[in-house]
Amino acid sequence: MIRSRLTLLLALAVGCGGPKAAPVPDAGAEAGADADAAADAAADAAADAEAPADDEPPRLGSIGFTTFIYQDRSRKRRIGEVRPGTIVLLTSDEPVEVPPSQLGGCKSGRFYPVAPRGFICEDETITRNLDDPRFRALALAAPREGPRPYDYAFSTRAPMYGRAPTPSEQARTERRLRPVAELARVRRSMDGHEDLADLAPTPPRDSIPEFLLGGKEAPVPAGRRGGLVRKEIPHGSMLSFSHAFDVEGRTFLLAPDLTLVPADRMRPFRPSAFRGVAIGSNNPLPIGWFRKTARTKHKREASGAFVATGETWAPRTFVRLSGTSITHEGELYWETREPGPTYARARDVSVVAAPEAWPRMVGADEKWIDVSLSRGTMTLFEGRRAVYSTLMSRARGA
């Protein structure tokens, strides 16, 4: 069993300040001063209206495919990254100069301090000008808020264009590919990916981005090459896309790197309704997950034999287990908490139980994740208390 444990850390930045004291009126002022006071108040209000608002914290945007955040200015350890078209807040408007002997691969020798911690090298992947056309284009294709930052599709092999191609350019570029009308379903070895993939291509739903109007080429992210065809997405790969728009009767998908992919060569994924389960008094460990196919329920007869009940557990559901397992004629069965009781064959279920050995580096209330690639499950813990469990892909269409 292969496991990976991650510790989740939270950082908070807190600012504080207080209101300024209001001036106290002079109780002995003459009544004739009221007019002057009113005039002064009007002048102050006009000045306040013209005064600039409080300065926003300094920001930096990524215009490369990846902008790394380092723990310190040596660049020896990466602690994060800034996605293209997104921003990060800085703790200072000016970069920190580093002596040539400490550059660590940062050619400019300047690093921006990141809030709440870390440093970014001043290189070709960043910009301080958030009105830069390249940054604005990447920001349009940046991930949106929420659990589904992009839409996704399965590739049957397709070119990734740098601009909207003409019909003749499409025909010339795609003549070595299988005609769209003859595209078959994905190969059997990848059938698991088809469970949520539609054969009908994504329809157009957005306007063509302004930076592509008039046949213009999309801006090129730092470190990438331009051209009509920037690269090709192979069969079986997954595509993230933010927009779908029509160009002369054909729909194209806009990828995060500003390439355009023909929608009719992709298989869009439907959003999944699957959810994991909270672990607690109602659903204590152990539990068992059923993956992509329905699994038969069994009961035990007086002879000790196990027979099918005629009922099944639905795909991508879980069952509460008692923790008792029984082997009969070489087959292992797990007893469930369902009436009967009913039993699940061990080969049909991915069992999630408390670890046999707890990681020593985890504190009593520390948050960590237990990932099992063999079972295809992910369980969230707080100290030694499981709080959530879900299925995850084992990268084999599970």
User: Percentage of the chain surpassing pLDDT 90?
Assistant: 65
Q: Say what the pLDDT of residue 105 is.
A: 75
Please report which helix (H) or strand (E) contains residue 253, including its range.
Answer: strand 250-254
| Structure-block tokens of residue 48 | 């306040």
Residues 131-142 have a mean pLDDT of 96
Residues 240-255 have a mean pLDDT of 97
DSSP conformation class of 16 = -
> How does 328-365 read in b/e, with b if 16+ C-beta sit within 10 Å?
eeeeebbbbebeeebbbebebbbbbeeeeeeeeebeee
DSSP β-bridge partners for residue 152: 240
* Every domain of the chain and the residues it spans: 59-130, 151-175+193-268, 277-391
Q: CA–CA separation, 219 vs 134, rounded Å?
A: 5
Residues 247-273 have a mean pLDDT of 94
Among 25-39, 180-194, 284-298, 318-332, the least confident range: 25-39
Q: Say what the pLDDT of residue 54 is.
A: 55
DSSP string, 256-281: TTS-EEEGGGEEEBPPP----EE-SS
Residues 67-92 have a mean pLDDT of 92
> With bands split at pLDDT 50, 70 and 90, how would you rate the model's confidence at 5?
very low
Q: CA–CA separation, 58 vs 64, rounded Å?
A: 19
Read off the pLDDT of residues 165-186 as tens digits, 9 standing for 90 and up: 999 999 999 999 988 888 765 5
Using the predicted structure, report yes or no on whether residue 189 has a pLDDT greater than 60: no
Using the predicted structure, report yes or no on whether residue 44 has a pLDDT greater than 50: no
Using the predicted structure, report yes or no on whether residue 268 has a pLDDT greater than 80: yes
Among 165-169, 223-227, 233-237, 392-396, the least confident range: 392-396
Q: Say what the pLDDT of residue 98 is.
A: 82
Cβ-Cβ contacts under 8 Å for 249 (sequence gap 6 or more)? none
Percent helix, strand, coil in the chain, to 5, is: 15, 35, 50
Using the predicted structure, report yes or no on whether residue 26 has a pLDDT greater than 50: no
Using the predicted structure, report yes or no on whether residue 27 has a pLDDT greater than 60: no
Of residues 312 and 11, which shows the higher confidence score? 312
DSSP β-bridge partners for residue 278: 388
Q: Which residue do the tokens 């470190």 mark?
A: 223
Using the predicted structure, report yes or no on whether residue 34 has a pLDDT greater than 90: no
H helices within the chain, ranges in order? 33-50, 133-140, 167-174
State the Cα angle at 246 between 221 and 198, rounded to 5°: 90
> With bands split at pLDDT 50, 70 and 90, how would you rate the model's confidence at 267?
very high
H helices within 149-260, ranges in order? 167-174
DSSP β-bridge partners for residue 239: 153
Of residues 341 and 38, which shows the higher confidence score? 341
Residues 145-151 have a mean pLDDT of 91
Biggest alpha carbon distance in the chain?
A: 109
Backbone angles phi, psi at 168, to 5 degrees: -70, -35
DSSP conformation class of 89 = E
Q: Say what the pLDDT of residue 103 is.
A: 60
DSSP conformation class of 311 = E
| Structure-block tokens of residue 389 | 């469990």
> With bands split at pLDDT 50, 70 and 90, how would you rate the model's confidence at 289?
very high
Q: Say what the pLDDT of residue 388 is.
A: 98
Residues 199-224 have a mean pLDDT of 95
| Structure-block tokens of residue 57 | 């914290």
Using the predicted structure, report yes or no on whether residue 191 has a pLDDT greater than 70: no
Question: Across all residues in the chain, what is the average pLDDT?
Answer: 84
Q: CA–CA separation, 290 vs 345, rounded Å?
A: 11
Q: Say what the pLDDT of residue 56 is.
A: 83
152 within 8 A of 237, measured Cβ to Cβ: no
Among 145-154, 179-188, 280-289, the least confident range: 179-188
**Alpha-carbon dihedral sign for residues 232, 235, 241, 244:** positive
Cβ-Cβ contacts under 8 Å for 250 (sequence gap 6 or more)? 170, 262, 263, 264
Q: Say what the pLDDT of residue 180 is.
A: 87
